[in-house]
Chain A
Amino acid sequence: MEHSDAQALLELATVEPAGFERLVAGDTAESAALAGHLAGCPVCAAEFERLGVLAPELRAAIRELPPVDLRERTLALVASVGRSRSAAVPASLDVPLSGEGMAPAVEPPKRRPASRSWALATAAALLIAIAGVAGWWNASSDLERGQAATAKLAGVTAATARIASQPDAQSVELAATTTGAAEPARGKVLISASTQELVVLAEGLSEPPAGTEYRCWVEVGTSRTAIGKMYLYAGLATWAGWSSALEGIGPGTTLGVSLGEVGGDPIGEPLLTGAL
């Protein structure tokens, strides 16, 4: 193993979940080759020791950092369901903030109702899909794949609920770009511009031909940007997460699902599209 290869392995393993542990286990050809290199290279051996200290420290510290978008989500939540301050409290700060007579003056918080019926319907549909998946893998013994699918769909459900809590949440129906199919594929996108989070769902898609995959994308202005590869299971394709590609979205922004070759054009052939 070359010196630079060892360096790269060590650095990547520091960031990979449990990567360092797997590397030191020595049970793969790669880790065995690394062990051989370390035995004869004091520079890499020292680096190995340093990164062994750094990896758990970094992991612990970063796990305890709030997600960067939590600030905006928290302020949006307060704006959405928090007490209406302008009516309850005078602008003057002459009133004491504590002490006698203050507590009774506090009005009960006034909550603003939010319309989330579409999100609830989507979440309900996903929960039904999860139940269906769980039943399927019990029946077929394809435990690992079924569990992975259940975890993915549960993640999509959680993302749906998160987006639904945003005051600027929107939904977009995706329709097939071609007509004529007896049961055309269709889809739906739940999206929040403020948190740049979205959920993309598509149903009626068949297994993609070998070497291809379903992807979702966004088109802002004339620029179309890939968001990611969709996860397909039991006829339901999903993608959930945050994407910086959503920056600047607004009326007219188009979202879509494509079929593309692995390693080829990042967008591929659009199958479903819809606009904000």
Chain B
Amino acid sequence: MSGPRFERADELALVRAVAAGSTDALAALYDRHADSLYATAMRSTDDRQLAEEVVQDTFLALWDRAELYDPAVGSLGTWLRAIARNRTIDRLRAAGRRPRLVSVDGVGSGDLDADALDRAATGHSVIGGAGVGPGPEGRLETIEIRETIAAALQGMPEDERTMILLAYQAELTQVEIADRLGWPLGTVKTRTRRALRRLRAALGEMVDPDDLPPTGDGE
């Protein structure tokens, strides 16, 4: 199909622009690949700080070495994931830890089926050799859910988005969030519920059991 090929040509133009010093091109590539790189790093490390550092290292490497990307060897996504994997291993070793096993399917974005083969072809090591993973359909669904949630969060009022991120990413309780932000607990709860309802509306039936009746609001 021409889709992936078109994407590769488009990405090659962006990589060339990065090589010429365009930070806009770097930002565009970040927007395309950061979510999947971060998700993979999180699954390998279970450590937000490390995952953030891996993403930063990867885009710094892209900036510094854009000329070394060879589209004949594999897609840009594959190249970036190989860099991210190596950075993950480096950082885990530095921290005296071992990488967690991640399915060879990974959690990538565009080139799902070619990914594992590309990795083997480029001679890069794969973290672990874990199980079968969710399979292409499951991975697509996971990616779709993640993208839907990301879009819903972006479209949410900032105070509500803050509630969700502090709860799920910083793992703060509602009392801790109220403390942190200096907001009354009641306000935190109201905004949290509002934010949750927006997320549910965006997700629709994506993660709800099919056979259950529609949501009753109760208020």
Contact = CB atoms under 8 A, between A and B. Distances in A.
A61 B146 contact: yes
Given A57-B145, A62-B169, A106-B68, A91 B20 contact: yes
A66 B60 contact: no
B71 interface: yes
A228 B182 contact: yes
A11 B63 contact: no
B2 interface: no
A75 to B, nearest CB: 6
B206 to A, nearest CB: 8
Interface in B153-180: 153, 158, 161-165, 167-169, 171-174, 179-180
A77 B56 contact: yes
B1 interface: no
Contact of B55 (A6, A17, A66, A102): A66
Contacts of A77: 56, 60
A62 B35 contact: no
Interface string B27-45: 1001100110011001100
A71 B153 CA distance: 15
A79 B181 CA distance: 31
B23 interface: yes
B215 A47 contact: yes
B212 to A, nearest CB: 5
B149 A61 contact: yes
Contacts of A71: 27, 30-31, 34
Interface in B42-58: 42-43, 48-49, 51-52, 55-56
A93 B179 contact: no
Contact of A62 (B66, B158, B168): B168
B64 interface: yes
Given A58-B199, A244-B158, A75 B182 contact: no
A19 B171 CA distance: 11
B208 A54 contact: yes
Q: Is chain A's interface secondary structure helix, strand, loop, or mixed overall?
A: helix
Interface residues of B, number: 81
B182 A227 contact: yes
Interface stretch (A82-90, A120-128, A176-184): A82-90
Contact of A70 (B52, B184, B203, B213): B52
A4 B174 contact: no
Interface in A104-133: 105-106, 109
Chain A interface size range:
35 or more
A74 B182 contact: no
B98 interface: no
A66 B52 contact: yes
A11 B35 CA distance: 27
Contacts of A188: none
B70 A66 contact: no
24 contacts: A7-B217, A8-B189, A15-B163, A15-B196, A43-B213, A43-B218, A47-B215, A61-B149, A63-B42, A67-B169, A71-B30, A74-B34, A74-B59, A74-B60, A77-B60, A78-B26, A78-B63, A79-B23, A86-B21, A91-B20, A102-B68, A103-B67, A244-B158, A244-B162
Closest 8 CB pairs of A and B: A85-B21, A98-B70, A7-B218, A62-B168, A66-B38, A64-B39, A43-B216, A226-B182
Interface of B: 12, 15-17, 19-21, 23, 26-27, 30-31, 34-35, 38-39, 42-43, 48-49, 51-52, 55-56, 59-60, 63-73, 107, 142, 145-146, 149-150, 153, 158, 161-165, 167-169, 171-174, 179-182, 184, 189, 192-193, 195-197, 199-200, 203, 207-209, 212-213, 215-219
Given A66-B38, A86-B21, A266-B182, 11 more contacts: A17-B167, A54-B208, A59-B168, A65-B39, A67-B169, A74-B59, A83-B63, A93-B19, A97-B12, A97-B66, A103-B68
